[in-house]
Amino acid sequence: MGYEIKKVADVADVLKKRLKTMEHKPSILRAIELKALADEIPLLKPEKRAAFGKELNKLKAELQKMVEVAEEETTKLEPIDVTAPFDVNTRKRPRPLSSELGSQNPIMADQDELINIFARMGFTAIESRQIDDDYHMFGSLNFPEGHPARDDYDSFVTAEKDKNGKPFIAPAHTSTMQNRVLKQFKPNLEKGQAIAVVIPGRVFRNEDLDPRHEHTFQQIEGVYVDKGIHAGHLIATLKTFLQEYYGQELDVKTQPFYFPFTEPSFEFAMSCPFCRKKGCNVCSYSGWIEILGCGMIHPNVLKEAGIDPNVFTGFAWGVGTMRLTMMKYGIEDIRHFNSGKLEFLRQFK
């Protein structure tokens, strides 16, 4: 092969490789690089021009074919769905997009950490859902129709109605999942094992926004059922979890409260992890921080899931995790999390 022909072959190789990766628009690539080769023809010795030209034409035809095939393939691709956990075109996970520019929102990073703590304590995680119905929001949780406690969970509803003529609801708490997980894990009890599930999820409330209130926030629900379970197990579990998360010994205390789905119900407080009960602005100089709602699962809630409350008892809790994260990192305004502000997010890279 003469030097010139070799040159055509080299360019052809490069072009073919590039076409395969579709780095450039094929038409632009052809126009620039083949023209450069064609421009060399007049510079060649006359006897060499014919062979070079022939080789060049062959390359053009070959590239033309490749361009057509590549273009056809491109039109077959689906548009990229940025929310899909896999590449929509190859169906492979993970999607081959660089994650160098982005970072995980501290809500999700912290949620992973919280779930890991519970996983080490033997809890399985099941994700909550972002649209639910009246039965799971209220009925299955022992809120009778028209009960005033329903007003504490004012959320967003759809105009569309479900088969019972009720609107669908953006859940105001992750407790909507209790009936589902109790039913799903009931076979554990029959095998002599406990039901131990945590349910992370996004919840929604009709709230006036301020540094401590968001309309969209994150909760982790916990459900534990077995024979002989009492409030001591509840307190020990939550204390252990909070100590793990804050990396220090904490004191905890409970106060009576009311939730329709627990009896008794408690408000759960921990000693302030900042001032260790000396008093500071995080704990409003009280030394204590009320952190979550919890209680012993109401017999009606167990019955509704087909579990005999005379044989089994259990506890449950629901904790707003953004408040936990705020206290861990000294974040002063809950609205930062969903603001999309890069100055905020970059601090957690």
Contacts to ligand DAH by CB under 6 A: 173, 175, 221, 259, 261-262, 293-295, 316-318
Question: Which helix H or strand E contains 11, and what residues bound it?
Answer: helix 3-21
CB of 343 to ligand DAH, least distance (A): 31
Q: Using CB atoms within 10 A of its CB, is residue 279 exposed (0-12), middle (13-18) or buried (19+)?
A: middle
CB of 211 to ligand DAH, least distance (A): 19
**Following DSSP, what letter does each residue of 48-88 receive, concatenated?**
HHHHHHHHHHHHHHHHHHHHHHHHHHHHHSPPP-TT-SS-T
Task: Give the chain's length.
Answer: 349
Which CB sits closer to ligand DAH, 52 or 266?
Answer: 266
Which CB sits closer to ligand DAH, 56 or 291?
Answer: 291
Q: Is the dihedral of CA 291, 288, 107, 155 positive or negative?
A: positive
Which CB sits closer to ligand DAH, 40 or 263?
Answer: 263
C-alpha dist (Å) from residue 69 to 19, 33, 34, 167: 10, 20, 19, 50
Which CB sits closer to ligand DAH, 245 or 317?
Answer: 317
Chain position whose Cβ is nearest to ligand DAH: 318
Q: Is residue 290 classed as helix, strand or coil in its secondary structure?
A: strand
User: What is the rounded distance in angstroms from the CA atom of residue 200 to the CA atom of residue 125?
Assistant: 7
Contact 243, 121 (CB under 8 A): no
CB of 174 to ligand DAH, least distance (A): 7
Which CB sits closer to ligand DAH, 192 or 232?
Answer: 232
CB of 291 to ligand DAH, least distance (A): 11
CB of 298 to ligand DAH, least distance (A): 9
CB of 92 to ligand DAH, least distance (A): 38
Which CB sits closer to ligand DAH, 175 or 237?
Answer: 175
